[in-house]
Structure 1
Amino acid sequence: MKHILYALGLSVLLFSCKEQETTATYTPRILTANEKFNESYDGKDSIFTILLKKDQNTSEIKEEFNVKFKDTLVKIQVNKADPNSATDKFASTQFINTQKTALLVQLADNSGLAAPSYIIALKNGKLNVVSLYRASNGKEDTKYTTGINKLGRAGYLVNNDFFITNVNANVNLVKRQNPEERIQGEFILNSPDKTTLVFLTPSSLYQVHYPSDEVVNEKLAKPAPQSDAELTEWVKNNYIWAKNKKGITFLKFHDSDRIVDIKEFQ
């Protein structure tokens, strides 16, 4: 009897270990148009589990995350042609919808460059892994490839190429100034209605209304400061938000005698 109980206990233990080691590797698809990832899920428990782990393989202990879809550990194969490029380690993970069926993740990467970012989401009843990557040959790409940047409650800007709204997980391609390169400028402002993104480029304020793809390239008025830090403050004090005939809000240079309420920019 003891032998039978021992055998049963060992079987349960082995089965549990096997369950914990269940993994699935996904080759991400490319996002080519605006897309929503806000599917509902009626299950009692969350369909995703985020696991915090400590990486002991580096000189400094740092936090990393794993993601489970139901009971399966999710791996992403970064290079379609190389199975060894699959990884389950993420430097950051965050839900991007209230249903908690969509995650924005960034790989844990020690290369020194901004690691790739992905959407992991339930869609049409299946797990989708979507790459947030667009090819670019910009001269200053290294400077403006900064990974995931949170823009307050509005959402996330990824490498100046994607804007992801919080709450409902709308993923939008940000219209480029030059189709062959990501926007060569620093994001500095978001419109009061959170739909127009403003980038400070060397000679202008490149503005994108991401829901419509309408853009305005507002030349910097003279005399403008030379340093980026001074320029940002100067823009806040010398430009105002104004709606065009379509009701879209863009920044416009204003008369220096006009009193500006700084709350317009917050």
Structure 2
Amino acid sequence: MKQILYALGLSVLLFSCKQNQKNAVIYSPRTLAANEKFNAAQPSADSVFTIYKHNSEKDAPISGTEAFGIKFKDTVVSIQVNKADSSAADKFSYVQPVNTQQTTFLVQLANHPDLATAFYLIAFKDDKLNVISLNRPSTGKQDGKFTTGLNKIGRGGYLINNDFFITNVNAQVYLIKRQNPEERIQGEFILNSPDKSTLVFLQPSSLYEVHYESDEVFTQPLSKPAPATADLSGWIKDNFNWEKNKKGITFLKFSDSNRIVDIKEFG
């Protein structure tokens, strides 16, 4: 009797495994179109996505942290990480909806060794599932220092590796304009403008500033190195002001107490 029950249990387990295999689909990620939006509505009353925890089942914990999976309708979403082989990943250490419809998710692969290739968007768009790679090749000498992964910018959105900005609420994705097209920005993100549209990066001898909505940039030279991070806020407050140019774009500029302010700058 025990042997019969064991055989039945094994059959159920194998059937379950086969079902999971059948319901897993491997998606090859595509590249991002310039300033692409991902804000599709849910096609029905029920969400097309289901987020679940791997660790709540029988899977072992991943580095002691939670691992998440995503189902699109009744299929497990698995991403082909490397086009050169058939390996795929379906476990994520970070899953975050980035639009109010909750049809677009920003994800980070679990246990992935390279932050540059760890981030993707999983989105319902044009009546199908889209997987978008958030990776731009870079040859910067200090890429290791400035490939820092995800940086949440207040309530405005998410900065990914100094290369992408994803707005919250409507999930519009911007390619951050580089100083050198071959290199991701070789600087530390330190500040966002009051209107939430200009990102400021600290470099050894300058502030590199990007208005991500228009691709307009400004470089503010520094006469001496910036202080340590703990003193950075006071240093900026004492030495710089936010100023609008003739196009209404805000940049952080060195304060000049003798400068005559032209009212047209704020027009």
Contact 2:39 2:103 in 1 (8 A): yes
Match of residue 73 from structure 1: 76
List alignment gaps of at least 5 residues for structure 2: 1-10, 260-267
**What is the Cα deviation at residue 133 of structure 1?**
0.5
**What is the Cα deviation at residue 223 of structure 1?**
4.6
Match of residue 3 from structure 1: none
SS of the aligned residue for 2:145 comes to helix
Match of residue 26 from structure 2: 25
CA 1:73–1:129 in structure 2 vs 1: closer, same or farther (change >3 Å)? Answer: same
Aligned: 1:175 with 2:177: yes
Count how many residue pairs are aligned between Structure 1 and Structure 2.
245
Equivalent-residue separation in structure 2 for 1:156 and 1:202 (angstroms): 24
Match of residue 6 from structure 1: none
Equivalent-residue separation in structure 2 for 1:114 and 1:56 (angstroms): 26
Equivalent-residue separation in structure 2 for 1:36 and 1:19 (angstroms): 34
Residue type at the aligned position of 1:105: V
Match of residue 140 from structure 2: 138
After superposition, give the CA deviation of every residue in 1:215-235 in whole Å (9 maximum; x if it has no partner). Answer: 000111x35545344345412
Which of 56, 60, 63 is 1:56 aligned to?
60
After superposition, give the CA deviation of every residue in 1:74-105 in whole Å (9 maximum; x if it has no partner). Answer: 00000112102x01011100000000100000
Matches for 1:103-182 after TM superposition, within 5 Å? 103-109=105-111, 111=113, 113=115, 116-182=118-184
Which of 81, 88, 93 is 1:91 aligned to?
93
**What is the Cα deviation at residue 237 of structure 1?**
2.7
Over the residues paired in the alignment, what is the CA RMSD in angstroms? 2.5
SS of the aligned residue for 2:66 comes to strand
Match of residue 190 from structure 1: 192
CA 1:45–1:18 in structure 2 vs 1: closer, same or farther (change >3 Å)? Answer: farther
Contact 2:51 2:70 in 1 (8 A): yes
**What is the Cα deviation at residue 189 of structure 1?**
0.5
Please report the TM-score for the alignment, with normalisation by the length of structure 1.
0.84
Match of residue 214 from structure 1: 216
**What is the Cα deviation at residue 37 of structure 1?**
0.5
CA 1:122–1:148 in structure 2 vs 1: closer, same or farther (change >3 Å)? Answer: same
Equivalent-residue separation in structure 1 for 2:215 and 2:67 (angstroms): 36
**What is the Cα deviation at residue 39 of structure 1?**
0.7
Residue type at the aligned position of 1:99: Q
Equivalent-residue separation in structure 1 for 2:149 and 2:27 (angstroms): 21
Q: Which moved more, 1:17-26 or 1:198-207?
A: 17-26
Match of residue 241 from structure 1: 242
Structure 1's consecutive aligned runs of 4 or more residues displaced over 6 angstroms after TM superposition are 11-17
Residue type at the aligned position of 1:66: G
Q: Percent identity at matched positions? A: 62
**What is the Cα deviation at residue 17 of structure 1?**
6.6
CA 1:133–1:182 in structure 2 vs 1: closer, same or farther (change >3 Å)? Answer: same
Q: Which moved more, 1:236-245 or 1:91-100?
A: 236-245
